[in-house]
């Protein structure tokens, strides 16, 4: 980014919002259709009942809940990058945080659909809200499932507000270059931001407090999701390491998806000088750390199962690695904890192909991690007479693809209508234009 | 009678801009500055007090904490269901609800604090504002009597202003 001026950064990022070509509409249309297909199949399931999905006794949580946990995990990288790394003053976050934050908001929205889909009778979803029902009964706040509803809705509200606050000064910059109807829209969206001293004074403080609030929230949300499992007594779930294990996994998968999405984005928008290989290298280093934590968690689960002397616990872990779901288990181990070790080598951390391949594999692995945790534990609980296997039906597969359509459609729309790189924060890391010793020539 | 006018100047360099701010501050003049980015040197030169947004955050957080615990406790007491021999109002699981409400209310109050303090949204045209202040220029606008405009313009030029305009 060296040698760039405020104006160059401003223009380069605003140019990404230029009227799109036909190819863009084709892509958005394709993802929109995929989403519509997923919704139609959901409607089919509502009419015909949950029986059309593969979930049945004993595996009552299948791909829907796997997808829920996967998408909540994906949502973690955005706030990690925007809030935690903001507090740590990590400069490499500046050019990538906006896309990661957008990804967070869309991923939480996608995740939020799955408990509704899984409910079957979606029209009674309001029973989970903190309001009394017709019988004046309130939801049970001691249930981790209700805790989860509160945590996820808080996360969606806070991350969406944080995302919008960050956008305000950038939209003001876009407003000044826009014309016609676009100018009117961006004027409204900029809330009348002019960058006055008073506005910046309050903005800086508000942003800091938002970051400070969002930081513990990120950690708490996936911890609460993990307690959906860990607070039960199901072998393979009832474990105290679940919260940190889930949080590390969430960051692992979230950062991997940021890499997967940003590599084509920077190429399409020709912003390689703003989203640099250094940004990717830094993310790869964090992935290396989370990969090691996840690998350690996999190993320690086996140790705990053996050391606890609990035969049910040990049985489930032996079965995971050698039973019906062994391919899924080994995909998870290899993709999440072996493949990321390649990032020990600078060559892989700085190679676009290497980064892309590893990041995709991590996401495959992280999806299988949730699948393995959920399905294997439910398939082999305490009573062998009640054992049974699970495999998803076409209904679950199409709904899952539909959710990818929803997420990617939103991401592509965002990338074309809002600045996908923070104009203000990228300017902040450029050398301040000074009469003496400045490289910011005008 | 003298009428009030707005004189504004745009700067390219922060050091020039900071000098101008310090000068007008020492002159005890009322002025507004514009900047495309937040900048510590500008903040120091302005010497403004800390924003009160934090008080909103604190109030929101405390309200959230009390609300979360109260809601969970009240609803548990409404339906005295003893589960596993444990008392209906058990504080430990309510920590999660209390925590989430603290964050939620704290964040919403911060948002409210920003809206109230920064007076957003405000769509009226600001006199002295120029589009480049959101791009790459730093701006300062001063309200002055018509008779002072020439001398103020000279001052701006002395500090290295790129352009001086009058409204």
- Domain limits, chain B: 4-49+123-166, 53-117
Could you read off the pLDDT of B97-137 as tens digits, one per residue? 999 999 999 999 999 999 999 998 988 888 889 999 999 99
pLDDT band of A160, cuts 50, 70, 90? very high
Q: Is the pLDDT of residue A27 over 90?
A: yes
What is the rounded CA–CA span in Å between residue B140 and residue B43? 14
Q: Cβ of A202 under 8 Å from any chain B Cβ? A: yes
Beta strands B163-166; B138-145: pairing state: unpaired
CA distances from residue A86 to A1, A79, A83, A161, B131 in whole angstroms, order as listed: 19, 10, 5, 16, 28
* 3-state class (DSSP) for residue A58: coil
What is the rounded CA–CA span in Å between residue A355 and residue A281? 9
Rg (CA), chain A: 23
DSSP state string for chain B? -PPEEEEEEEES-HHHHHHHHHHHHHTT--EEEE-SS--HHHHHHHTPPPPTHHHHHHHHHHHHHHHHHHHHHHHHHHS---BTTB-SS-HHHHHHHHHHHHHHHHHHHHHHHHHHHTT-S--SPPTT--GGGGTT-EEEEEEEEGGGHHHHHHHHHHTT-SEEEE-
Q: Which tokens is A324 given?
A: 């019906």
Give chain B's mean pLDDT: 90
What is the rounded CA–CA span in Å between residue A291 and residue A309? 28
Q: Which residues contact A216 (CB under 8 A, 6 or more apart)?
A: B99, B103
Q: Is the pLDDT of residue A126 over 90?
A: no
* Fold topology of B4-49+123-166: Alpha-Beta Plaits (3.30.70)
What mean pLDDT comes out for the span A117-126?
Answer: 91
Q: Is B138:B11 a contact under the CB 8 Å cutoff?
A: yes
A58 preceded by a cis bond (ω within 30 of 0): yes
What mean pLDDT comes out for the span A294-312?
Answer: 94
The percent of residues above 70 in pLDDT, for chain A, comes to: 98
pLDDT band of A114, cuts 50, 70, 90? very high
Residue whose pair of structure tokens reads 């809601």 in the numeric block: B71
- Of the listed ranges A251-260, A372-381, B155-164, the least confidently predicted one is B155-164
CB atoms within 10 A of CB A250: 28
Q: Is A78:A103 a contact under the CB 8 Å cutoff?
A: yes
Q: Is the pLDDT of residue B82 over 90?
A: no
Instruction: Please answer yes or no on whether A197 and B57 come within 8 Å at the CB atom.
Output: no
A–B CB contacts, 8 A cutoff, strictly below: 191
What is the rounded CA–CA span in Å between residue A346 and residue A354? 10
Q: Is B41:B16 a contact under the CB 8 Å cutoff?
A: no
Q: Cβ of A89 under 8 Å from any chain B Cβ? A: no
Sheet of B138-145, strand order: B31-34, B138-145, B4-11, B163-166
Find the CB nearest A202 among B16, B51, B136.
B51
Task: Please name the CATH architecture into which domain A6-429 falls.
Answer: Up-down Bundle (1.20)
Instruction: Please answer yes or no on whether A141 and B71 come within 8 Å at the CB atom.
Output: yes
- Of the listed ranges A13-22, A156-165, A324-333, A432-441, the least confidently predicted one is A432-441
Beta strands B138-145; B4-11: pairing state: antiparallel
State ipTM: 0.93
Q: Is A248:A295 a contact under the CB 8 Å cutoff?
A: no
Q: Is A34:A404 a contact under the CB 8 Å cutoff?
A: yes
Chain A residues whose beta carbon lies within 8 Å of the beta carbon of residue B63? none
What is the rounded CA–CA span in Å between residue A95 and residue A121? 43
pLDDT band of A442, cuts 50, 70, 90? very low
* CA quadruple A292, A297, A302, A307: dihedral, nearest 10: 120
Chain B residues whose beta carbon lies within 8 Å of the beta carbon of residue A169? 36, 134
What mean pLDDT comes out for the span B82-88?
Answer: 81
CA distance A117 to chain B (A): 24
Could you read off the pLDDT of A177-207 as tens digits, one per residue? 999 999 999 999 999 999 999 999 999 999 9
* b/e code B134-161 from CB counts within 10 Å (16+ = b): bbbbbbbbbebeeebbeebbebbeebbb
Q: Cβ of B118 under 8 Å from any chain A Cβ? A: yes
For chain A, how are helix, strand and coil distributed in percent, rounded to 5?
75, 0, 25
Q: Cβ of B85 under 8 Å from any chain A Cβ? A: no
Q: Is A375:A368 a contact under the CB 8 Å cutoff?
A: no
- Domain limits, chain A: 6-429
Could you read off the pLDDT of A195-246 as tens digits, one per residue? 999 999 999 999 999 999 999 999 999 999 999 999 999 999 999 999 999 9
For residue A220, which of B101, B106, B96, B64 has the smallest C-alpha distance?
A: B96
Q: Is the pLDDT of residue B83 over 80?
A: no
The percent of residues above 90 in pLDDT, for chain A, comes to: 81
Q: Is the pLDDT of residue A3 over 90?
A: no
Q: Which residues contact B87 (CB under 8 A, 6 or more apart)?
A: none
What mean pLDDT comes out for the span A141-151?
Answer: 92
Q: Is A108:A156 a contact under the CB 8 Å cutoff?
A: yes
Q: Is the pLDDT of residue A392 over 70?
A: yes
- Could you give phi then psi for residue B165, rounded to 5 degrees? -130, 160
DSSP state string for A285-354? HHHHHHHHHHHHHHHHHHHHHHHTT-HHHHHHHHHHHHSTTHHHHHHHHIIIIIGGGGGGSHHHHT-HHH
What mean pLDDT comes out for the span A321-337?
Answer: 96
Q: Which residues contact A350 (CB under 8 A, 6 or more apart)?
A: A277, A280, A281
What is the rounded CA–CA span in Å between residue A229 and residue A236? 9
The whole-number pLDDT of residue B30 equals 87
What is the rounded CA–CA span in Å between residue A210 and residue A202? 12
Chain A residues whose beta carbon lies within 8 Å of the beta carbon of residue B14? 432-434
What is the rounded CA–CA span in Å between residue A76 and residue A217? 10
Q: Cβ of B126 under 8 Å from any chain A Cβ? A: yes
CA distance A332 to chain B (A): 30
Q: Is the pLDDT of residue A438 over 60?
A: no
């Amino acid at each position: 980014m060296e040698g760039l001026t405020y104006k160059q950064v401003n223009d380069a990022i605003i140019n990404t919002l230029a009227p799109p070509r036909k190819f863009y509409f084709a892509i958005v249309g394709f993802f929109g259709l995929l989403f519509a297909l997923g919704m139609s199949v959901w409607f089919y399931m509502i009419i015909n009942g949950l029986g059309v999905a593969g979930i049945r006794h004993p595996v009552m949580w299948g791909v829907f809940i796997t997808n829920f946990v996967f998408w909540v995990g994906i949502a973690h990288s955005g706030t990690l990058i925007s809030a935690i790394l903001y507090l740590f003053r990590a400069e490499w976050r500046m050019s990538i945080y906006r896309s990661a934050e957008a990804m967070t908001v869309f991923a939480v929205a996608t995740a939020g659909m799955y408990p509704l889909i899984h409910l079957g009778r979606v029209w009674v979803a309001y029973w989970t809200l903190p309001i009394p029902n017709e019988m004046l009964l309130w939801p049970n706040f001691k249930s981790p499932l209700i805790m989860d509803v509160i945590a996820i809705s808080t996360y969606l509200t806070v991350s969406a507000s944080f995302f919008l606050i960050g956008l305000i000064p950038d939209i003001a910059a876009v407003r000044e270059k826009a014309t016609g109807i676009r100018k009117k829209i961006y004027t409204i969206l900029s809330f009348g931001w002019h960058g006055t001293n008073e506005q910046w004074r309050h903005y800086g403080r508000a942003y800091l407090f938002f970051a400070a609030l969002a930081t513990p929230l990120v950690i708490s949300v996936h911890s609460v999701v993990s307690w959906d499992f860990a607070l039960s007594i199901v072998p393979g779930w009832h474990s105290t390491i679940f919260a940190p294990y889930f949080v590390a996994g969430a960051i692992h998968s979230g950062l991997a998806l940021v890499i997967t999405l940003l590599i084509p984005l920077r190429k399409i928008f020709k912003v390689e000088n703003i989203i640099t290989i250094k940004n990717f290298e830094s993310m790869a280093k964090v992935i290396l750390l989370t990969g090691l934590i996840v690998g350690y968690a996999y190993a320690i689960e086996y140790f705990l199962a053996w050391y606890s002397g609990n035969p049910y616990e040990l049985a489930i872990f032996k079965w995971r690695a050698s039973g019906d779901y062994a391919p899924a288990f080994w995909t998870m181990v290899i993709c999440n904890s072996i493949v990321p070790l390649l990032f020990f080598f600078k060559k892989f951390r700085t190679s676009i192909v290497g980064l892309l391949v590893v990041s995709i594999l991590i996401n495959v692995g992280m999806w299988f991690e949730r699948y393995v945790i959920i399905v294997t534990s439910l398939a082999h609980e305490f009573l062998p007479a009640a054992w049974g296997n699970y495999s998803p039906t076409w209904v679950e597969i199409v709904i899952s693809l539909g959710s990818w359509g929803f997420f990617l459609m939103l991401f592509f729309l965002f990338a074309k209508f809002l600045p996908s790189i923070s104009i203000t924060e990228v300017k902040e890391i450029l050398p301040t234009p000074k009469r003496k010793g400045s490289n910011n020539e005008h | 009678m003298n009428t009030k006018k707005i004189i504004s100047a745009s700067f390219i360099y922060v050091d020039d801009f900071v000098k101008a701010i310090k000068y007008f501050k020492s002159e005890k003049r009322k002025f507004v500055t514009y900047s495309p980015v937040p900048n510590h040197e500008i903040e120091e030169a302005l010497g403004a007090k800390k924003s009160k947004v934090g008080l909103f955050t604190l109030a929101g957080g405390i309200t959230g904490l009390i609300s979360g615990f109260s809601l969970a406790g009240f609803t548990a007491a409404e339906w005295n269901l003893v589960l596993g021999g444990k008392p209906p109002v058990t504080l430990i699981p309510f920590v999660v609800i209390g925590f989430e409400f603290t964050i939620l209310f704290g964040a919403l109050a911060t948002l409210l604090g920003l809206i109230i303090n920064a007076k957003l949204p405000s769509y009226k045209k600001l006199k002295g504002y120029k589009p480049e202040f959101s791009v790459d220029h730093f701006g300062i606008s001063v309200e002055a009597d018509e008779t002072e405009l020439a001398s103020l313009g000279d001052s701006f030029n002395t500090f290295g202003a790129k352009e001086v305009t009058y409204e």
